[in-house]
Structure 1
Amino acid sequence: MGPQPGVALTTYSTKPRGGVVHTLSLAQALHRQGCGVHVVALGDPGKGFFRPVDVPHTIVSAPQGGETLEERVFAAIDAMADWLDENARRFRIVHTQDCISCRAAARVRDAGAPITVLRTVHHVDDFTTPALINCQHQAIVEPDGLVVVSEQWRSILRSDFRVDATVIHNGVDPARFGPIDPARRARLRDTVGATDRFLLLSVGGVEPRKGSVHLFRALGRLRERMDPSPVLVVVGGESFQDYTAYRDTAVAELDELGLRLGDDVHILGPVSDDELHGWYRSADALAFPSIKEGWGMAVLEAMCADLPVVASDLPVFREYLTDGVTALLPAAGDHVALACALERVAADAGLRASLRSAARDLLPRFTWDRAAHEHRRLWGL
């Protein structure tokens, strides 16, 4: 048997959320560079990850049930800790990607395992119970080192938690989002009635930090201003937290806005990697009006698919996007400004072409190979 890998990358899920995409993409780049890396995730070992993975990995059975978020979080920490306790000596470094796996790794380290625990903080969740707020706090102050994916979150951790972090930006894999057969594009557009309507794509599901309510309200304004009015397709939405109440409230507002679910708005939920690729290549623009983001990986993914982007004027987006050049950045949470930006991009083919061209120039700055090199430098490998 050859030498065991020296680095474990751990994540709380096997589903298509940003942190999981980050973990798998980084692991694949490290593997290509010859770095001994092993991905550990909570999930269903029988189902595997949402996309093929050619990196050594283990899927730890995720606990089932739990009536509350608090119960689910602490059960997940226990499950990850049990696996790490049995396997920690295989690794010199356990680099965690979320508060669940971080708390588990820190517990095993503190019990005597000879591991260094690092964590990438993608963003800080808006927990409401004291136990979960404390859990998240500990998952930021307990690690031996921290990574963030933007300067904005480095600043937030300094001010709110009095800790420092190393900034390593996310990457993107252009090969995942290349051109598709025009016939497939036409079929996808036809399924949502967008044969002759402008097609907006939203990635991340219907949840508070994605600004979904503001996007629906902006679309309502566009229905009054544009003929034909745009179609919105919403994909994604895998989350450890339950946003059913927010989603139900947002969808209930569609009637008041003059919008019809299944006609003007299509909420498709989680989709496969291949389906996501298809929608990126079939839409006319990405609508990504988040009110809170760690980075916003969908922005770079859309750009790889030659999709012009309308995002939000958030500090994290301003780190790599320029309003009017690489994207349109209306004020976050302002559905009127968002509607104006979406109308501009829908009405102006020249603007769309300019945004696509500038995005192509931006993309080479953000590769997973670069991110892998920066992680190896951090780890001393």
Structure 2
Amino acid sequence: MSLRVLNYLELESHLQRSGIGTAADHQRAALDGTDVEVVTSPWQGGAPLSALRSLSTGDGVFREYDVAHCNLVGPGSLAVARHAKRNGIPLVLHTHVTREDFAESFRGSTTVAPALGRYLRWFYSQADLVLCPSEYTKDVLESYPVDAPIRPITNGVDVDALAGFADLREEYRERYDLSGTVVFLVGNVFERKGLTTFCRVAEATPYDFAWFGPYDTGPHASKAVRRWTSDPPENVTFTGWVDDIRGAYGAGDVYLFPTKNENQGIAVLEAMACGKAVVLRDIPVFEEFYTDGHDCLKCDTTAEFREAVERLAEDDALRERLGNNARETALEHSLDRVGDQLAALYREVHDAVRAGRSVDLDTVCDGR
């Protein structure tokens, strides 16, 4: 029996530039190769206002589906969760947001993070199954504690979507005036992602640095973001929004990611899938995925990051070896594996709720 699953990302049009948006895209692309039928909006007519009009005609607000899977934690997801619990629909909540990775993202986010943590504990505990990108995130959720079965499953990497990245190398290097060994990072510009360290390493080295991704200098921006983007080191380029992310991976040579906290880090997998040498901060989440000296270099201090960048810039053989191994690591997170795992988890949660029992994660294939 095929399942009809709601895969919902509220505020989707505003999250296309985010890791959460990419993760949802990966889920849907991965499920294309399974027997799961995916709907992306819970609302009759495809939007809340259309659903209200449907209510006036007696058709109800929500569409029909066998499993509800929400990727965010706002009012739309809360409405879906309440509808699911009232109507016996299995509820899957995906943890892309924790209080830990919310801190140091926006102005005031660190102050708000503790209150957010209390809300997340309550919200995620409603689920019949909580999915998260890593064992690290599972440990974080259990520390809250979240009272629901929790299963790690990789966000995956869309290797096919990156095809042709090398062909864009010269175009993007010329566009952003980059030459020689280019040290780069892909994603939204946040202090949490190691912005200050990225710029300090640039100041201490002669290479071109490029951060490919949007940034906010308005009232929501942190002081660090406003400071560095308004007056960057001479060898640092903040590109803003990039129309084809493949160009970023084509232009760059060494992927420097001194992030302070991640649930997984999709852009790391993308850089690895492109065979780039990767330098990471040595934080717990990366321990379960990557091995220092094999598919990446791991560092703790600004000095160590500088030394790693210089070493890779000067050693072509090391850069190539790490990049080749990184590509093999990325293939372990292919979307076909993600699709099979998601389909199995949906079926288990559906069967468990219908039978009035708890979800048995031991019956489902390894979620990583």
TM bin (shorter chain): 0.7 to 0.9
CA deviation after TM superposition for structure 1 residue 122, in Å: 2.4
Q: Does 1:247 align with 2:225?
A: yes
Tell me which residue corresponds to 1:94: 68
CA deviation after TM superposition for structure 1 residue 351, in Å: 0.8
Tell me which residue corresponds to 1:31: 32
Q: What is the 5 A alignment of 1:329-348?
A: 329-331=298-300, 334-348=301-315
The correspondence for 2:6, drawn from 5, 8, 25, is 8
What amino acid is the match of 1:208?
E
Tell me which residue corresponds to 2:268: 299
| Corresponding residue SS for 1:32 | coil
* Alpha-carbon distance between aligned partners in 1 of 2:199 and 2:321, rounded to the nearest angstrom: 26
CA deviation after TM superposition for structure 1 residue 9, in Å: 0.8
Question: Alpha carbons of 1:7 and 1:103: their partners in 2 closer, same or farther (altered >3 Å)?
Answer: same
Higher relative contact order (CA 8 A, sep 6+): 2
Q: TM-score, normalised by structure 2?
A: 0.79
* Alpha-carbon distance between aligned partners in 1 of 2:24 and 2:340, rounded to the nearest angstrom: 14
Tell me which residue corresponds to 1:370: 337
The answer as to whether partners of 1:150 and 1:168 remain within 8 angstroms in 2 is yes
| Corresponding residue SS for 1:294 | coil
What amino acid is the match of 1:318?
E
| Corresponding residue SS for 1:242 | coil
The answer as to whether partners of 1:281 and 1:306 remain within 8 angstroms in 2 is no
The answer as to whether partners of 2:181 and 2:208 remain within 8 angstroms in 1 is yes
Tell me which residue corresponds to 2:171: 187
CA deviation after TM superposition for structure 1 residue 293, in Å: 0.3
Q: TM-score, normalised by structure 1?
A: 0.77
| Corresponding residue SS for 2:120 | helix
The answer as to whether partners of 1:200 and 1:287 remain within 8 angstroms in 2 is yes
Question: Alpha carbons of 1:87 and 1:368: their partners in 2 closer, same or farther (altered >3 Å)?
Answer: farther
Tell me which residue corresponds to 1:47: none
Q: What is the 5 A alignment of 1:1-381?
A: 6-12=4-10, 13-14=12-13, 15-40=16-41, 58=46, 86-100=60-74, 101-110=76-85, 112-124=86-98, 125-126=102-103, 127=109, 128-129=111-112, 132-163=116-147, 164-180=149-165, 182=167, 184-195=168-179, 197-222=180-205, 229-237=206-214, 242-251=220-229, 254=232, 259-260=233-234, 264-272=235-243, 275-331=244-300, 334-380=301-347
Question: Alpha carbons of 1:373 and 1:335: their partners in 2 closer, same or farther (altered >3 Å)?
Answer: same
* Alpha-carbon distance between aligned partners in 1 of 2:221 and 2:83, rounded to the nearest angstrom: 32
* Alpha-carbon distance between aligned partners in 2 of 1:367 and 1:293, rounded to the nearest angstrom: 20
User: Number of residue pairs matched?
Assistant: 324
Question: Alpha carbons of 1:19 and 1:159: their partners in 2 closer, same or farther (altered >3 Å)?
Answer: same
Question: Alpha carbons of 1:234 and 1:86: their partners in 2 closer, same or farther (altered >3 Å)?
Answer: farther
What amino acid is the match of 1:316?
V
Question: Alpha carbons of 1:118 and 1:283: their partners in 2 closer, same or farther (altered >3 Å)?
Answer: same
Q: Which whole-Å deviations, capped at 9, do the CAs of 1:38-79 have from their partners, x for residues lacking one?
A: 12399xxxxxxxxxxxxxx95668xxxxxxxxxxxxxxxxx9
Question: Which has the larger displacement, 242-251 or 128-137?
Answer: 128-137
* Alpha-carbon distance between aligned partners in 2 of 1:312 and 1:298, rounded to the nearest angstrom: 14
* Alpha-carbon distance between aligned partners in 1 of 2:342 and 2:269, rounded to the nearest angstrom: 20
What percent of counterpart residues are identical? 24
The answer as to whether partners of 1:313 and 1:330 remain within 8 angstroms in 2 is yes
What amino acid is the match of 2:302?
H
| Corresponding residue SS for 2:209 | strand
The answer as to whether partners of 1:237 and 1:270 remain within 8 angstroms in 2 is yes
CA deviation after TM superposition for structure 1 residue 296, in Å: 0.6
Question: Alpha carbons of 1:4 and 1:168: their partners in 2 closer, same or farther (altered >3 Å)?
Answer: closer
CA deviation after TM superposition for structure 1 residue 5, in Å: 6.6
CA deviation after TM superposition for structure 1 residue 245, in Å: 3.2
* Alpha-carbon distance between aligned partners in 2 of 1:212 and 1:265, rounded to the nearest angstrom: 11
Question: Alpha carbons of 1:189 and 1:253: their partners in 2 closer, same or farther (altered >3 Å)?
Answer: closer
Q: Which whole-Å deviations, capped at 9, do the CAs of 1:189-221 have from their partners, x for residues lacking one?
A: 1222223x2212211232122111111011111
Q: Which whole-Å deviations, capped at 9, do the CAs of 1:209-257 have from their partners, x for residues lacking one?
A: 21111110111111xxxxxx21121122479x93353311333564xxx
The answer as to whether partners of 1:5 and 1:36 remain within 8 angstroms in 2 is yes
Question: Alpha carbons of 1:86 and 1:18: their partners in 2 closer, same or farther (altered >3 Å)?
Answer: farther
Unmatched tracts of structure 1, length 5 or more: 43-56, 62-78, 223-228
Q: Which whole-Å deviations, capped at 9, do the CAs of 1:309-335 have from their partners, x for residues lacking one?
A: 11111111111111111011111xx22
Please give the root-mean-square deviation of Cα atoms over the aligned residues, in Å: 3.0
Question: Alpha carbons of 1:33 and 1:4: their partners in 2 closer, same or farther (altered >3 Å)?
Answer: closer
The answer as to whether partners of 2:189 and 2:195 remain within 8 angstroms in 1 is yes
Question: Alpha carbons of 1:29 and 1:252: their partners in 2 closer, same or farther (altered >3 Å)?
Answer: closer
